[in-house]
Amino acid sequence: MQLKSSTFNAKKKYFDAIFELVFWDTGRMAIPEIGINIMGEDSSIISTINSDSIWVNVISVKEKNLSLSALSDDIIPIKGPVEVQSYENLKLVIKIILLILIGFVIFLLWRKRIKEDLILENPQNNQKPYDAALKKLKRLKKSDISSKQHKKEFFVEISFILREYIENSFFVRALEMTTEEINQNSSILPFDDNEVIDLVSIFRNADLVKYAKYDIVDDQCIKFLERSIAFVKQTSSKLLVLAD
């Protein structure tokens, strides 16, 4: 089935009539019925149908907007589009707050890590020097001394621990002094002759292993470690005398 062009014109008039009524007229009015021809493929009219008449009640905009003058022919201004509430600003604020919180947590973790590293690197900050030295020396008992390289590292640790203990306990720069310098300046150390002899003996044997690649049996390594532990225990009593 097809619709004639007149049908479309009728529909156009129908909608134009609605527009005019809504835009200009007020009161209760009827939109008349409109006839529509239905045609077949050979352009013959098969039937005609009429649209229903529609009653509408048109209200003046002046009744809703009292600011317009009763004698004025003005109409209410055209309203702009309603602004859609956006949550982008709120999202941005939340993101900024989250970033600040994450940055603060990272800063706290970093500070905590730094403090832990300082405590590990400087045990004297939370324990006495001789306690730290004894703890490190006793830890060496678990060291692997099966090869010359391991024995060299073993004696390097013993030498460093004893020098660090002397420097932190008796304020003598033992870490910067050679074995011979310690022997020649033994008078500045608060040790008796036997303790000085024992200390220098440990340092000299450590130097032989470190620098001269001196080979030493495992049992002797353990004995030097035990002598080092005994030296720290004996000389730690002098710290109390110095404190008094």
Q: Does the structure show a pLDDT above 60 at 126?
A: no
Domain of 208: which CATH number? 1.20.120
Q: Is residue 162 part of a domain?
A: yes
152 in the same domain as 115:
no
CA atoms within 13 A on the CB side of 10: 14
Rounded to an integer, what distance in angstroms lies between the CA atom of residue 184 and that of residue 35? 130
> For the residues 222-236, what does the mean pLDDT come to?
91
Q: Is residue 30 part of a domain?
A: yes
Is residue 216 within 8 Å of residue 151, measured between CB atoms? yes
195 in the same domain as 89:
no
Q: Is residue 163 part of a domain?
A: yes
Reading the block at residue 23, the tokens are 């835009």
144 in the same domain as 111:
no
- Positive/negative CA dihedral, 199, 201, 203, 205: negative
Q: Is residue 75 part of a domain?
A: no
Q: Is residue 77 part of a domain?
A: no
89 in the same domain as 115:
yes
204 in the same domain as 234:
yes
Q: Does the structure show a pLDDT above 70 at 1?
A: no
Reading the block at residue 4, the tokens are 């004639």
pLDDT digits (tens, 9 = 90+) for 152-164: 899 999 999 999 9
Largest CA distance in the chain: 138
100 in the same domain as 156:
no
220 in the same domain as 138:
yes
50 in the same domain as 91:
no
13 in the same domain as 94:
no
Please, which pLDDT band fits residue 61 given cuts at 50, 70 and 90? low
Burial status of residue 62 (CB atoms within 10 A of its CB: 0-12, 13-18, 19 or more):
middle
pLDDT value for 142: 87
Give me the residues paired with residue 29 across strands.
Answer: 56
pLDDT value for 226: 93
Rg (CA), the chain: 52
Q: Is residue 78 part of a domain?
A: no
- Which residue segment(s) compose the domain that 216 sits in? 128-243
87 in the same domain as 166:
no
Q: Is residue 205 part of a domain?
A: yes
In this prediction the pTM is 0.48
Bin 35: left if φ > 0, else alpha if -120 < ψ < 50, else beta: beta
Q: Is residue 179 part of a domain?
A: yes
Q: Does the structure show a pLDDT above 70 at 92?
A: yes
Residue type for position 62: K
- Structurally, how many domains does the chain consist of? 3
94 in the same domain as 168:
no
232 in the same domain as 204:
yes
Last residue of a domain, one of 121, 136, 171: 121
